[in-house]
């Protein structure tokens, strides 16, 4: 009997020692998992702040990490539609499939904006579930904390209490930070901007910023010279204060328009890992700081 | 408990509740429909030579004809895919060629829930040997297949069968698979397709090399046989014997910081060696000139495609095949052609430029200097091609 217990303990040992294997589609969810799970999670991040999460390919390295993961934490809402379905059909991982607890889609915990009433590709690469760039509003991160902690606890019940307490602690610090940023961001309320891509509607919704145009003529189409000329007209007619792009977007178009219009061009991190945005707190602090900075520059 | 089928189905329904609720009226009805896409493609082709598209040292079969001269509709492909349930996923691609022939290009189910990294695929599918073979023609970087694919596989190897594949639990990508086929596809085919006349094995290894480079290399082996396999038009040639093929494939992709939006490059190459052993008969229903046939052949292509600004890409390709065949009685046109390996290897130079307005549209201009006919007679070939995709958003494998 004692021998049996010893063998059983040996078999259980690797499980005790091994962390939960997390495949994070985007860096913000990798950062959130680390906040909630700490050392209990081994986190692989599939994309970086220098990549458009819609445009990466199902590279062999992604397939390899998908194969071994216990859970994938992704935005969903078709943001990863160009590559994640390939992982699901070729990655041979029964744990991460539609309807399995190993597939966590953050978009299901937030209220989606820009859900189109009708779908027509003439409108560009639109997403039927709504605009997928939910992480630009820190309140959406806040909404994902509890469901994500719950899911991690479900998959790794031995550390359930730890996930819950870490999540509660993070949630407290997070809501304090949001209150601070909301206060700091007050001067941005009502400010009109032009964005490179429709990446920021959740950020704008939070801070009350008005997007009057995008550098892309349609979502997913690169800025054209003709469209930039039209935007010069828009700038003359409307009180636009700045041109916003993300760290992974080519700076040429926004710098061109900035040069021609005299408006400041501001590069925002978009996600964790971009210049200055080492963690989730710094991501939004840098975002607010740069927007306020540009607002000052825009007021000569 | 979550693994109980009913429970997991309930979970699936629950997880769908939010997006469905987010749709306007009528949206919910489409949420369960399969993903459907339709690929439209058409070509204008010009050839400076109107000699038959023969290749010395080879009996061509499958889809190895040149595209029709002038304006023509290429294959119109309808693809439908969906999860069948929590265990199976299904995919079908039906194509209609320029002569209105409907063909099932692929129709298979694959498993989603096998443990330990295994997947099983059943039905008709493109073999996973090599690199380009599993890609549908509209995803190719050039209008036409490499010469080695044209000569050895009749353009592309797709057949009815089963595939077992295993993905290794490693931090680098390693997969291996075995495929068992009906053996109806060129270079096999003909009578007696019982048993397992054709099989292949393949292995791939891939990873990232720093933030900007990624690669995949592979090796494959394919064996099949023909039993009075008929090729050629209007006068047929029959082949009875076995074919063995072994090859290696490599692809490197580059994108600055892994972001291909502005600039990216794809370098790929494949090399195959093929041996054939058996007998051939020219015009089996007429002259019936018969000969023993032993073939030793190799072929390769290398190509590079570079996206230099958004929407615009340019590429070059070099193709070459070589045959060293022994025929004891090379009488009859096709047998004389098969025996023709006078040291003038068929080869081809290609260059292309294409423009993609969005992820769903592409227009391509391609030039070939084709020296694949007997005596390396040069054919200057120009193609203008469009490829449009409508329907659900495509996901592309590496």
> How many Cβ pairs within 8 Å bridge chains A and B?
162
DSSP letters for B21-36: HHSPTTHHHHTTSPEE
| Nearest CA among A208, A117, A224 for reference residue B26 | A117
Token code pair at residue B367? 């030039």
pLDDT of residue A11: 44
Interface check for B204 against chain A (CB to CB < 8 A): the answer is yes
pLDDT for position B12: 37
pLDDT value at B178 more than 90: yes
- The size of chain A, in residues, is 300
What's the CA angle centered on A68, arms A63 and A73, to 5 degrees? 80
Q: What contacts B149, CB < 8 A, 6 or more positions away?
A: B132, B133, B155, B156
Confidence of residue A22 (pLDDT cuts 50, 70, 90): very high
Q: In 3-state terms, what secondary structure has residue B171?
A: coil
What pLDDT is stored for residue B10 in this prediction? 37
Task: Supply the mean pLDDT for chain B.
Answer: 90
Q: How far A57 CA sits from the closest chain B CA (Å)? A: 6
Q: Tell me the pTM.
A: 0.89
**Looking up tokens 């328009």, which residue turns up?**
A257
| Nearest-by-Cβ selection for B395 from A47, A81, A129 | A81
Residue B384 to chain A, least CA–CA distance (Å):
23
Q: State the pLDDT at residue B32.
A: 61
d(CA B53, CA B66): 7
| Per-residue model confidence (pLDDT) at position B6 | 38
> In this predicted structure, what is the pLDDT of residue B132?
97
By percentage, how much of chain A surpasses pLDDT 90?
83
B71 pLDDT above the threshold of 50: yes
Q: Is a pLDDT exceeding 90 seen at residue B276?
A: yes
* C-alpha to C-alpha distance for A18 and A159, rounded to whole angstroms: 12
Q: At what angle do helices A280-297 and A27-37 cross, to 10 degrees?
A: 130
| Residue of B1, B259, B262, B305 to mutate, testing the A interface (most A Cβ within 10 Å of its Cβ) | B259
A152, pLDDT greater than 60: yes
User: Is there a contact between A84 and B22 if contact means CB atoms under 8 Å apart?
Assistant: no
Residue B97 confidence (pLDDT)? 87
SS3 B129: coil
CB-nearest to B22 from A94, A98, A115 is A115
- In chain A, the residue whose alpha carbon lies closest to the alpha carbon of B310 is A222
Would you place residue B99 in the very low, low, confident or very high pLDDT band (cuts 50, 70, 90)?
A: confident
CB-CB neighbors (< 8 A) of B175 in chain A: 63, 92
**pLDDT value at position A3?**
56
User: CA B210, CA B101: separation in Å to the nearest integer?
Assistant: 47
Asked if A288 reaches chain B (Cβ–Cβ under 8 Å), the answer is no
pLDDT tens for each residue of B309-336: 999 999 999 999 999 999 999 998 999 9
- In angstroms, the CA B76 to CA B356 distance is 19
What pLDDT does residue B165 have? 98
Kindly report the backbone phi and psi dihedral angles of residue B344, in degrees, each rounded to the nearest multiple of 5, phi listed first: -105, 85
Lateral strand order in the sheet of A192-195: A210-214, A192-195, A240-246, A265-268
Six-digit token string for B343? 């040291």
Instruction: Please report which helix (H) or strand (E) contains residue B362, including its range.
Output: strand B361-371
Q: Among the listed ranges A251-260, B17-26, B191-200, which one has the minimum average pLDDT value? A: B17-26
Those residues whose C-beta lies under 8 Å from the C-beta of residue B344, and which sit 6 or more positions away, are B56, B375, B376
B174–A64 CB contact, under 8 Å: yes
Residue A93 C-beta-side C-alpha neighbours within 13 Å = 31
Contact list in A for residue B24 (CB cut-off 8 A) is 117
CB neighbour class for A235 (10 Å; exposed up to 12, middle 13-18, buried from 19): buried
Look at residue B39 and give its three-state secondary structure: strand
Q: Percentage of chain A with pLDDT > 70?
A: 94
| CA B53 – CA B67 distance, rounded (Å) | 10
Query: Does the CB of A175 have a partner CB in chain B at under 8 Å?
Result: no
Mean pLDDT of all residues in chain A? Answer: 91
Query: A120-134, A269-283, B197-211: which range is least confident on average?
Result: A120-134
- Write down the pLDDT at residue A299: 57
- The helix (H) or strand (E) run that includes residue A71 is strand A71-74
Q: How many CB atoms lie within 10 A of CB A44?
A: 18
Contact A96, A23 (CB under 8 A): yes
CA distance A133 to chain B (A): 16
pLDDT of residue B188 exceeding 50, the answer is yes
Contacts B8 to A, Cβ<8 Å: 99-100
Mean pLDDT of the A235-258 span: 93
Neighbours of B99 (CB within 10 A): 8
Instruction: Tell me the two tokens of residue B100.
Output: 């209105």
Chain B interface disruption, residue of A89, A132, A254, most B CBs within 10 A:
A89
- Which domains are present in chain A? 2-180 (3.40.50.1980), 185-297 (3.40.50.1980)
Which of B174, B205, B398 comes nearest A57 by C-beta? B398
- Inform me whether the pLDDT recorded for B15 exceeds 80: no
User: Cis omega (within 30 of 0) on the bond before B187?
Assistant: yes
CB B132 within 8 A of CB A25: no
Structure tokens at B170: 């490693």
Interatomic CA distance for residues B397 and A282, integer angstroms: 35
CB nearest B117 (choices: A67, A78, A112) = A67
* Chain B residue whose CA is closest to A220: B358
> Does B210 reach chain A within 8 Å, measured CB to CB?
no
In this complex, is the C-beta atom of A161 within 8 Å of any C-beta atom belonging to chain B? Answer: no
Residue of A nearest to B259 (CA): A51
Query: Does residue B360 belong to the interface with chain A, where contact is any CB pair within 8 Å?
Result: yes
pLDDT digits (tens, 9 = 90+) for B337-393: 999 877 689 999 999 999 999 889 999 999 999 999 998 899 999 999 999 999 887
Prior bond to B234 cis, omega within 30? yes
| Phi/psi of residue B187, nearest 5 degrees | -85, 5
What residues in B contact A112, CB-CB < 8 Å?
22
Q: Which long-range contacts (CB under 8 A, 24 or more apart) does A276-279 make?
A: A277/A49, A279/A31
| Residue A38 contacts residue A22 (beta carbons within 8 Å) | no
Q: What confidence score (pLDDT) does residue A2 get? A: 56
Q: How far apart are CA A253 and CA B226, in angstroms?
A: 59
Pick from B391, B387, B389, B390: nearest CA to B73: B387
Rounded-to-integer distance, Cα A232 and Cα A226, Å? 10
Query: What is the per-residue pLDDT for B44?
Result: 97
């Amino acid at each position: 009997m004692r021998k049996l217990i010893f063998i059983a303990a040996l078999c259980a040992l690797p499980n005790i020692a091994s962390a939960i294997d997390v495949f994070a589609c985007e860096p913000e969810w990798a950062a959130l998992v680390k906040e909630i799970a700490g050392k209990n999670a081994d986190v692989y991040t599939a994309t970086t702040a220098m990549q458009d999460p819609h445009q990466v390919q199902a590279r062999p390295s992604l397939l390899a990490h998908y194969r071994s993961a216990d859970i994938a934490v992704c935005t969903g809402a078709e943001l990863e539609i160009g590559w994640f379905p390939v992982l699901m059909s070729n990655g041979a991982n029964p744990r991460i499939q539609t309807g399995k607890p190993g597939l966590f889609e953050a978009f299901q915990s937030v209220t989606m904006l820009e859900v189109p009433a009708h779908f027509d590709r003439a409108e560009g690469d639109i997403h039927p579930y709504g605009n997928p760039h939910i992480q630009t509003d820190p309140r959406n991160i806040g909404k994902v904390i509890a469901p994500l902690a719950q899911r991690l606890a479900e998959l790794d019940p031995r550390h359930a209490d730890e996930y819950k307490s870490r999540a509660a602690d993070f949630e407290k610090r997070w809501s304090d930070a949001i209150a601070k940023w909301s206060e700091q961001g007050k001067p941005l309320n009502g400010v009109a901007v032009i964005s490179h891509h429709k990446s920021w509607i959740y950020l704008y919704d939070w801070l009350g910023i008005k997007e009057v145009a995008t550098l892309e003529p349609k979502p997913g189409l690169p800025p054209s010279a003709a469209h930039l000329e039209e935007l010069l007209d828009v700038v003359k007619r409307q009180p636009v204060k700045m041109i916003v792009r993300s760290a992974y977007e080519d700076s040429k178009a926004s710098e061109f328009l900035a040069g021609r219009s005299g408006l400041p061009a501001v590069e925002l991190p978009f996600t964790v890992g971009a210049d200055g945005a080492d963690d989730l707190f710094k991501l939004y602090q840098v975002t607010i700081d740069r927007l306020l900075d540009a607002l000052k520059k825009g007021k000569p | 408990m979550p693994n109980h089928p009913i429970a997991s189905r309930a979970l699936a329904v629950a997880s769908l509740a939010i997006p469905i609720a987010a749709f306007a009226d009528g949206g919910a009805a489409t949420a369960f429909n399969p993903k459907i896409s339709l690929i439209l493609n058409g070509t204008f082709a010009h050839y400076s030579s109107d000699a038959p598209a023969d290749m010395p040292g080879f009996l061509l079969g499958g889809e190895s004809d040149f595209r029709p001269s002038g304006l023509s509709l290429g294959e119109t492909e309808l693809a439908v895919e969906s999860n069948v349930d929590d265990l199976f996923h299904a995919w079908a691609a039906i194509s209609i060629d320029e002569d209105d022939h409907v063909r099932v290009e692929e129709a298979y189910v694959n498993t989603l829930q096998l443990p330990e990294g295994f997947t099983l695929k059943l039905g008709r599918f493109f073999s996973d040997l090599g690199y380009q073979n599993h890609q549908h023609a509209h995803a190719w970087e050039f209008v036409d297949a490499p010469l080695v694919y044209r000569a050895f596989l009749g353009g592309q190897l797709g057949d009815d069968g089963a595939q077992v594949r295993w993905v290794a639990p490693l931090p680098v990508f390693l997969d291996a698979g075995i495929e068992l086929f009906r053996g109806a596809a060129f270079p096999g085919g003909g009578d007696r397709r019982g048993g397992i006349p054709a099989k292949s094995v393949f292995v791939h290894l891939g990873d990232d090399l720093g933030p900007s480079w990624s690669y995949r290399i592979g090796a494959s082996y394919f064996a099949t046989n023909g039993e009075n396999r008929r090729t050629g038009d209007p006068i047929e040639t029959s082949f009875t014997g076995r074919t063995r093929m072994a090859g290696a494939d490599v692809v490197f992709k580059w994108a600055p910081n892994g972001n291909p939006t502005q600039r990216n490059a794809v370098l790929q190459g494949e090399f195959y060696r093929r041996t054939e052993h058996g007998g051939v008969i020219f015009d089996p229903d007429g002259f019936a000139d018969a000969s023993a046939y032993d073939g030793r052949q190799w072929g390769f292509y290398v190509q590079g495609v570079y996206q230099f600004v958004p929407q615009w890409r340019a590429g070059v390709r070099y193709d070459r095949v070589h045959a060293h065949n022994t025929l004891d009685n090379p009488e009859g046109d096709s047998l004389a052609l098969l025996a023709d390996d006078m040291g003038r290897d068929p080869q081809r130079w290609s260059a292309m430029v294409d423009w993609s307005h969005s992820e769903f549209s592409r227009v391509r201009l391609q030039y070939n200097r084709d020296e694949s006919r007997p005596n390396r007679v040069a054919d200057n070939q120009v193609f203008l091609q469009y490829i449009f995709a409508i329907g659900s958003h495509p996901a592309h494998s590496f």
